[in-house]
Amino acid sequence: MKNCKTIFILIFVTGTGNQVGQRTLHILHNSEYPASSFALLEVPVNAAASGAASNTNQSSTPAPTVKTVSLVADNLFDLLVLKMAPVYTSKKIKIEAKGPRFELGDFVVKLGSVVMSQNFKGILVEVEYRPCIMADACWDLLMEFVQGIFGHNAVSSVPRTLQPRMKEVYTPLDTMHQYMDQFSAFRKAAGIR
């Protein structure tokens, strides 16, 4: 079992888009891929409102669905975003998951304690099975492994972001989507927005 530090840093940046919704740009770094920056842009998509409202006093509240546009870029991307300061104002919310990394045969287990602006939020456990590139093929194996650690508390449902991509080749971007999901849940849990 090898032990080394892993750091995830997440920076939130909100953008001033059009009046209807706010586009949020999240920038993530992962110490496993030190040369890359991951950027996830969430664009709220409104349902079509033309011709739907028959009365003027009926306020149209479109059901907001969020479309995520993702990007993997070089480390220089951070400097580029700094130049785009007028478009995306930085909110300076930083979430970090930091902790030891263990290798057990073909499995890699990372324990991260999530800290948001010096407040401890929770613990994330990431399990990776290295030989497989398709999530569908090794999901059961992963579940077995996780159940061995957590017992009955283990969640056996496929994560939301991974569900449509079970039969495709797994990329580091999928990992970052999952982290993004978890971090958003952590943020919402404390009610800070």
Interface residues toward other proteins, by CB under 8 A: 31-38, 50, 72-77, 79, 171-173
> DSSP strand E in the chain: where?
4-15, 24-30, 36-45, 65-74, 88-104, 107-116, 119-129
**Quick one: 144 exposed, middle or buried, by C-beta within 10 A (0-12, 13-18, 19+)?**
exposed
The residue among 79 and 192 lying less far from other proteins, judged by its C-beta, is 79
Q: How far apart are the first and last CA of the chain?
A: 39
- Output the smallest distance, CB 128 to other proteins, in A: 11
The residue among 77 and 139 lying less far from other proteins, judged by its C-beta, is 77
- Output the smallest distance, CB 16 to other proteins, in A: 21
Torsional sign, CA 164, 21, 189, 186? positive
The residue among 41 and 93 lying less far from other proteins, judged by its C-beta, is 41
- Output the smallest distance, CB 172 to other proteins, in A: 4
The residue among 47 and 66 lying less far from other proteins, judged by its C-beta, is 47
- Output the smallest distance, CB 173 to other proteins, in A: 7
- Cβ atoms 129, 99 nearer than 8 A: no
